[in-house]
Structure 1
Amino acid sequence: TMRNKNDSGDVDMDDDGVDDDDDDDDDDEMGMADDVIDMTSICKFGPDDVDAEAEEVVNELQLLTEDISNKENEQSDWKIPNRDVFNKNTNNANWIKNEPVDEMVDNNLDLALGLGELAQLTVNNESESNADVVDMKTASRKTWNAKYTLRSHFDGVRALAFHPTESILITASEDHTMKLWNLQKTVAPKKSASLDVEPLYTFRSHTGPVFCLAISKNGEHCYSGGLDNVIKVWSMPSVNIDPYDSYDKNILINTLEGHEDAVWGISVHHNRSELLSCSADGSIKLWSPTNLKSPCLSSYVSDQDETPTSVDYVRDVEGQFVASYNSSHCVIYDIETKSPITRLECSKDPAEMATQLIHRVKCHPTLPLTITAHDDHHIRFFDNNTGKMVHSMVAHLDAVTSLAVDPNGLYLLSGSHDSSIRIWNLESKTCVQEITAHRKKLDESILDVAFHPSEAYIASAGADSLVKVFV
């Protein structure tokens, strides 16, 4: 039946029962769909048309649309290549601006990387052909971080040495004592969330400051020398020793007497139970430390030089050692014949020699290379076969006092009175990390550094009576 709107106001229905008003509404909706939706007109709807939640969604859509439009119009001049530590052509971080790098920005980046004031002297540009090789080395290079501060000595710490296989460190001090530390046994100190290490054992026998220290390659014995002219031979205490046990006198095995003045340095043989010592009396002595009757095997004195300052075994050739002298030269000796083989000279100018005092000498573990630390802020490298200096570099801002080479011969660790330790890549002769480790005391700061032979530890000894351990 069909109903039409009559005079009384009734609504007439079509044959299909659909309201005419509904048809009009549908037509209006179809018309709106054909037009583009105007977001601003939607936003002007009143509360009766759109609730608060819908209005919030619409506003967010508007903001998003405007943000995308703005970003499309902006022109950025930054590009991001590989996220490596260094860019090989600029020595800067790899967020490289298209414009030339400003010198001030370059310096700030060097400081942020911890390369210090001498970064420009030691960090060189790498060739593009070696970029892939350098990338791999940079990615695998370890960054050292402070782990422990060892506080127990009452005066400057002159020397330290790691056990060859255990997490054990022995330190020697001007307070006449040596201390044994187990880095795996930590305690929580008062008012601190970090861990601390307490000494397990204190070696007491020297009657003066202890200047040098070494541990045998099997880790069973320890040797120390000092101002009292003697070398003490110690049995290594157990790592499980109770620090509150009574003092064990049997720890001291032997006292090596023969030097007539202070013992400056000690070096142990890498295979045999032998050690070398150098003294202020002008002599170098070879010892069999466990021989109680006649421990001194040989004595070496240079006719051209005065006082030896440091000594080390040559590692790549059997039967040789190198000694540094206060004349700023080094001499390589044949152990059997006692004769000099090669003389390593920095300079022949007396004025220059006066400033080039050698504090420490180290031999590379696998190469015919001798490395020396000097009072004139330099580290120098010598070829053992020719005696020629192959490289020289300003390494610190003050005297370089100590050196250590990692067991693989890849990195060099140096300590200085400028209060920093630096790690060097031996292949490129560049500084890869600088750490400010100790405070100065009477113009002295870092007195010794060491690599652990088999574990990821390095350590530094300071005139401030502290020992810092890094992992």
Structure 2
Amino acid sequence: MRTFMRGRPITMFIPSDVENYNDMRTELPPERLKLEWVYGYRGRDCRANVFLLPTGETVYFIASVVVLFNSEERTQRHYLGHTDCVKCLALHPDKIRIATGQLAGVDKDGRAVSPHVRVWDSVSLCTLQIVGLGTFERGVGSLAFSKADSGVHLAVVDDSNDHMLTVWDWNRKTKVAEIKTTNEVVLGVEFHTTDSASIVTCGKSHIFFWTWNGSSLQRKQGIFGKFEKPKFVQCVAFLQNGDILTGDSGGVLLVWTRTAETPTSKGLRGGGGEDSKIVRQVKAHEGSVFCLSETRGGAVLSGGSKDRRVVLWDHELRPDKEIEVPDQFGSIRAVAEGKGDQVLVGTSKNFILRGTFTEGFTVEVQGHTDELWGLASHPSRDLFLTCAQDRLVCLWDSADHRLKWSRSLEEHGHCADFHPSGAVVAIGTHSGKWYVLDAESTDLVAIHTDGNEQLSVMRFSVDGSLLAVGSHDNFIYLYTVSDNGRKYSRYNKCSGHSSYITHLDWSPDNSFIMSNSGDYEILYWDVVNGCSQIRNRSDCKDLDWATYTCVLGFHVFGVWPEGSDGTDINAVVRSHNRRVLALADDFCKVHLFSYPCCTPKAPSHRYSAHSSHVTNVSFLHNDSHLISTGGKDMSILQWRLNHRPFGPPQPPSFSPHLFPLSLFTPPSALCPPLTSIIKIFLSLGLHLSLGAHLFLAKSGILWPEQKAVI
């Protein structure tokens, strides 16, 4: 049978055991994927995106997933409503509802979706409102809930050239005001804590004080006067007396107070008769003040970029406590109050740290910091390895969701494979150099070089006696392997491809290799007879393959979408039980097909969570989970493979002893699924905790007789 990619013919031979190809059908697999764990955090190019929720969970985002992580119980929940990169996050004053903004993207069916904001419930994970479809350009840069009117309004600044500021009655999905801010970069927007008619935006060379009268916005620019004007005003916070606090690129905190109040400016929606002037300057950090956060007690936390210091400022804006984040974690991008005296810190190297000013920090979340391609699963344990352009090689434990170890290489990592014994792992790099590391100690076992171009695939034979190295110089290099993967000797090389090697697989007896290239070739190699190319490819139609990662071949022909240009699929992998085929595509999707998949336009289950091209997929040794890696989103996603449909997400349990009840100011009503579940729960005569009762009573969910009990 023949198909075409970019006008090039691709010939595939039907195996002998297929009696009538025209009668073949590929059905949806009964297996399903459910997102179980997300590794990584987006801190490198975002800010103020780590918060503690009343549930005890830390909320943050990476790719198109918003993660709610309980560090004590080591559990995660995921809000999956977004269709592309999440760029910003804001907490409602009730600490329950959350607004998250995304870039322009595509929906699950591949249709374009404009940038928008989603307001959702952090208890039930239900979407409450979608705001701004068709309004924002490029993406949502920053957003904030109003505070003085209990979060009725939402301010949003988009990523258009004019950085449009819009104010929304978000519950009604109504835009009530819109205005151009500036052509310069805008880094933040905030409502005043005591005056919902006052909004502050800041960014490159500016701070603007906006007065909103209910239908229009009036701007007044902050004047620095005798104080040095910074290149960037990075962040805004509010002091207890109503003064405005800014942090800038010069490491300075400035206190702005409002003056010349006129009668028209009184009340929640007063006019624009106020000016703001600087009344105090404090040198706070070396380098930028990158983030500010108000504490429950009215103090302020600041995070420095260059000096990596977190400082707690008292009510008089005097430094009370401080701590320096170690250099290995990068500079500070987000800081927030945690439980008790704890502090949460997000960093530029994509770490989330938790600690205190006296005891230091521990790592809560970590991930890669550059484009991610290399992925390999351990042959017998619940472990997998990743390597990326950040030069890091990381071994992860999929059972307890922790990093086992990481090691830095001299080169950008691109591909990897474990020796069948699991004792060592081979990592290929962008320069043609490849390393072999001890999988336990991370010691360097061997180092070799094949050519000077990128290595795209490393693949051990089934018994571990041979290693095939596929390169962008069009060759496959073969090595004999001994001493349990610790000694390597060049054996031969496969020469015949007209473009770079993309994928390859071994036969179970180590005698043959199937390989794909960048110009859509499917070639077969006789390893035993000098690695010669098998010219009559029909002789290979009945060969079995120990793995199936080649994206071109009869058994995976059906995964290609109609009209594909040949670059739409980055990786495929067959499960060890040979029942399903997982696929990583260029459109942020993970697919699950039945195997074999040899009929055109075969159906698949599609899963969204990545926000960049999905670069690789790999089943764990027992097929219990699938791991997928994102390219520029730098995320690692762990999916549980299950034969049965999954139920709705479960809300977390609440403990009235962990948080003051004042934090549990809930929305007026939760979404219907949670309401129904709770009413069924109560109708069965089951009991809720006191904290849950109080929360639900405030929500208006409990029936009158239930409220009377409280």
TM-score, normalization by structure 1: 0.51
* Alignment partner, residue 440 of structure 1: 369
1:402 alignment partner AA:
A
Contact 2:235 2:247 in 1 (8 A): yes
**Distance across 2 between alignment mates of 1:467 and 1:301:** 45
Structure 1 residues 171-229: Cα deviation after superposition (integer angstroms, max 9, x where no partner): 1123332222233445xxxxxxxxxx668525322213322111112121111113332
**Distance across 2 between alignment mates of 1:178 and 1:438:** 26
* Alignment partner, residue 345 of structure 1: 283
Match among 171, 176, 179 for residue 256 of structure 1: 179
**Offset, 1:297:** 5.2
1:179 alignment partner AA:
R
Structure 1 residues 248-303: Cα deviation after superposition (integer angstroms, max 9, x where no partner): xx5222113343423211222222202211022x2212223353244335634464
Q: CA RMSD in A?
A: 3.9
**Equivalent residue pairs, number:** 282
**Distance across 2 between alignment mates of 1:467 and 1:264:** 28
| Cα distance change of structure 1 residues 401 and 166 upon mapping to structure 2, 3 Å threshold | closer
| Cα distance change of structure 1 residues 155 and 438 upon mapping to structure 2, 3 Å threshold | farther
Match among 215, 235, 250 for residue 145 of structure 2: 215
The yes-or-no answer on 1:424 pairing with 2:355 is yes
Match among 289, 300, 313 for residue 358 of structure 1: 289
**Offset, 1:157:** 2.2
| Cα distance change of structure 1 residues 380 and 233 upon mapping to structure 2, 3 Å threshold | same
1:338 alignment partner AA:
S
* Alignment partner, residue 399 of structure 1: 331
The yes-or-no answer on 1:232 pairing with 2:162 is no
1:378 alignment partner AA:
R
Contact 1:440 1:464 in 2 (8 A): no
1:267 alignment partner AA:
E
Identity of matched residues, %? 12
Match among 315, 323, 332 for residue 246 of structure 2: 323
**Distance across 2 between alignment mates of 1:199 and 1:386:** 38
The yes-or-no answer on 1:143 pairing with 2:143 is no
Contact 1:358 1:374 in 2 (8 A): yes
**Offset, 1:233:** 0.9
Contact 2:333 2:345 in 1 (8 A): yes
2:288 alignment partner AA:
L
* Alignment partner, residue 102 of structure 2: 173
| Cα distance change of structure 1 residues 182 and 364 upon mapping to structure 2, 3 Å threshold | closer
**Distance across 2 between alignment mates of 1:260 and 1:376:** 30
Contact 1:308 1:323 in 2 (8 A): no
**Distance across 2 between alignment mates of 1:300 and 1:429:** 41
**Distance across 2 between alignment mates of 1:465 and 1:142:** 22
The yes-or-no answer on 1:183 pairing with 2:115 is no
**Distance across 1 between alignment mates of 2:199 and 2:282:** 22
* Alignment partner, residue 313 of structure 1: 237
**Offset, 1:362:** 2.3
**Distance across 2 between alignment mates of 1:269 and 1:340:** 17
* Alignment partner, residue 199 of structure 2: 275
**Distance across 2 between alignment mates of 1:359 and 1:163:** 22
* Alignment partner, residue 464 of structure 1: 633
| Cα distance change of structure 1 residues 322 and 386 upon mapping to structure 2, 3 Å threshold | closer
| Cα distance change of structure 1 residues 235 and 285 upon mapping to structure 2, 3 Å threshold | same
1:219 alignment partner AA:
G
**Distance across 2 between alignment mates of 1:224 and 1:403:** 21
* Alignment partner, residue 5 of structure 2: none
**Distance across 1 between alignment mates of 2:636 and 2:238:** 28
**Distance across 2 between alignment mates of 1:292 and 1:343:** 35
**Distance across 2 between alignment mates of 1:327 and 1:163:** 30
| Cα distance change of structure 1 residues 300 and 256 upon mapping to structure 2, 3 Å threshold | farther
The yes-or-no answer on 1:160 pairing with 2:89 is yes
* Alignment partner, residue 454 of structure 2: none
* Alignment partner, residue 377 of structure 1: 308
Instruction: Report the structure number with the largest CA radius of gyration.
Output: 1
2:236 alignment partner AA:
D
| Cα distance change of structure 1 residues 144 and 421 upon mapping to structure 2, 3 Å threshold | farther
Contact 2:129 2:170 in 1 (8 A): no
**Distance across 1 between alignment mates of 2:317 and 2:145:** 31
2:93 alignment partner AA:
P
1:360 alignment partner AA:
C
1:25-44 matched pairs, under 5 angstroms: none
Describe the SS at the equivalent of 1:339: strand
Unpaired runs of at least 5, structure 2: 1-69, 105-114, 260-274, 372-388, 391-610, 613-631, 638-648, 653-710
**Offset, 1:429:** 6.3
Describe the SS at the equivalent of 1:288: strand
* Alignment partner, residue 7 of structure 1: none
**Distance across 1 between alignment mates of 2:307 and 2:239:** 27
| Cα distance change of structure 1 residues 166 and 360 upon mapping to structure 2, 3 Å threshold | closer
Q: Which has the higher strand share?
A: 2
**Offset, 1:438:** 5.4
* Alignment partner, residue 22 of structure 1: none
**Distance across 2 between alignment mates of 1:467 and 1:220:** 36
**Distance across 1 between alignment mates of 2:195 and 2:73:** 32
Contact 2:90 2:144 in 1 (8 A): yes
Contact 2:142 2:157 in 1 (8 A): yes
